[in-house]
Amino acid sequence: MNNHGTDKGVFVISLDFELLWGVWDVTTKEKYGDHIIGVQQVIPALLHTFEAYDIKATFATVGILFAKDKKALANYIPDKKPRYHNQAYNVYLKEFTAIGNDEQDDPYHFGYSLFELIKKSPHEISTHTFSHYFCLEEGQSADEFDADIKAAVKIAAAENIHICSLVFPRNQINETYLQVLKDNGIKVYRGNPESWIYKPRKFSAEVPFIRLCRLLDTYLPVSGNNTFSINSRQALPVNIPASRFLKPYNKNLAWLEKLKLKRIMNEMTYAAKNRELYHLWWHPHNFGVNIKENMENLSVLLKHYQHLRTKYGFANLTMKEAAGF
């Protein structure tokens, strides 16, 4: 990792931009649709807020969202598709059969206007794979992952986007697949925090006890500070590890919001003081309801970043920039 030669701490924000492609297998439009539709408001609000606080972020975008419509999308679907043993994960057999024609017809699966807004901004556009590919589920292979990544790179190139960074869906980092990234010109990825509660796992291994530990870690220092030393000699692809998921506002847990924000700000301060990396991430659809409260929380954190920038020289970089590219 290389932060452009500075000896100051680094603050990275990445967002997993996926719409319904990220959650179709665990929920429904009826249950979660308001969150997805809310992204139409969230993306402009995020871009406005980032500009106000002089922030650059990395938008890890599912490749499908680069397509204007269903007809254009058909040109990029890979011939080799993931053969998950659990067919409930097979997006091509399941969710693809339900998509509409374009964003106006189906804003749950298409978001080209939002992609265009991000494209016009100073932020990095990276990939979240083409199909929201699960790299640790049984049945799929490195060759199938390679086909997916090639499709993601190809559809991005058609929009004049050069993909440098990747975020693994569900944080299922498969280290044996890192060579696939390198072979396809992807130089950076988001790794997981070091604590055992964030170890990459297949979905069936995400048992309630682990989820409870993660919930507690949102408010209390269960896993420590989750900041990382800046190492300029990493082999490709470079790991820019995640520090903290920005849990969205929840009315039922509103009394814990200040504790949640304090936890994050303490970690940010530690990174700034100790010249380390701090990497905050979430999905735009997490902010899709309670938008006002979520944006207010983000503003609190970004104001704290500005304070740390002034006091310690805390530098905001995209994933690509944090890796020295």
The secondary element (H helix, E strand) that includes residue 225 is none
Amino acid 3: pLDDT: 42
Q: What is the pLDDT of residues 190-232, one digit of tens each?
A: 999 999 999 999 999 999 999 999 999 999 999 999 999 987 6
Residue 98 has pLDDT above 60, yes or no: yes
Q: What is the mean pLDDT of residues 104-131?
A: 98
What gap in Å lies between CA 193 and CA 195, rounded to an integer? 6
Amino acid 251: pLDDT: 94
Residue 3 domain flag: no
What lies within 8 Å, CB to CB, of 154 at 6+ separation is: 76
Q: Return the structure tokens found at 230.
A: 């800046």
Amino acid 6: pLDDT: 57
Residue 118 domain flag: yes
Give the model's confidence band at 235: pLDDT under 50 very low, under 70 low, under 90 confident, else very high: confident
pTM of the model: 0.96
User: Rounded to the nearest 5°, which phi and psi values hold at 16?
Assistant: -90, 100
Range of the domain at 280: 10-322
Amino acid 2: pLDDT: 45
What gap in Å lies between CA 209 and CA 206, rounded to an integer? 8
Residue 4 domain flag: no
Amino acid 230: pLDDT: 81
Helix (H/G/I), strand (E/B), else coil: 141:
coil
What gap in Å lies between CA 49 and CA 59, rounded to an integer? 15
Average per-residue pLDDT for the chain = 95
Residue 2 domain flag: no
Q: What is the pLDDT of residues 42-80, one digit of tens each?
A: 999 999 999 999 999 999 999 999 999 999 999 999 999
How many helices and strands, by DSSP H and E, does the chain display? 9, 9
The domain that contains 294 carries what CATH number? 3.20.20.370
Q: What is the pLDDT of residues 124-149, one digit of tens each?
A: 999 999 999 999 999 999 999 999 99
Residue 123 domain flag: yes
Amino acid 4: pLDDT: 45
Amino acid 234: pLDDT: 77
Nearest to 84 by CA among 126, 25, 27: 25
Amino acid 232: pLDDT: 63
Residue 5 domain flag: no
Neighbours of 97 (CB within 10 A): 8
Least confident range from 3-17, 109-123, 300-314: namely: 3-17
Q: What is the mean pLDDT of residues 77-91?
A: 96
Residue 163 domain flag: yes
Specify the number of domains making up the chain: 1
Residue 1 has pLDDT above 70, yes or no: no
Residue 38 domain flag: yes
- pLDDT > 70: percent of the chain: 98
How would DSSP label each residue in 63-126?
GGGG-SBHHHHTTT--SS----SSGGG-TTTTGGGG--SBTTT-TTT--HHHHHHHHTSSSEEE
